[in-house]
Amino acid sequence: MLLALCTLLAACEPRDFTYRGENGRISLEGNVLTLDVDNVPEATIGSSGDFFIDGKAASLSPAQRGLLVLYYQSVTDIRDQANGMKAGVTAAKNAFVKKPGSDAEQKLEESVESQVHQMSVKMCQDEVNLASVQAQLIAQMPAFKPYGDIFREKHADECTKA
């Protein structure tokens, strides 16, 4: 989980987000989520559940569109948690620089550890949610299947066990 967390934190920009998996990349730029897998046309998901493969709109049932909206939201939830953790780590580093060795350092360290733990638990849940939605998309939407292995379910499982 720590490796995945570090990857997520390093990949975050204030507005944009990228998750690099073993089999591809999920990028969020503005309100467009891009799925990129080698040897497969690029796919995009809009915030309203629109799904495009190689720039062509895919025909969707209302249930499929709903799942794509949930997938999009799950990625934005992970992005938001990663950005929050990044901001928290930066604030903690600044606080330690200002008060090294002070009596308050121990309390600050405990507070930071507690907050990071809470955010990590939330991010794990977000990863579990993403894995669940992704599995449903694979089962219900053949056009999504080539993109269904970017985020591996084992990451979510390992995260919740940590």
pLDDT tens digit string along 79-115?
Answer: 888 877 777 666 666 666 555 566 666 676 677 777 7
Please state the rounded mean pLDDT for residues 29-52: 95
Question: Residue 9: what pLDDT?
Answer: 47
Q: Spell out the domain ranges in the chain.
A: 2-161
For the chain, give the number of residues.
Answer: 162
Cα-Cα-Cα-Cα dihedral sign, residues 151, 156, 159, 161? negative
What pLDDT score does 92 carry? 65
Say if residue 26's pLDDT is above 60.
Answer: yes
Residue 3 has pLDDT above 90, yes or no: no
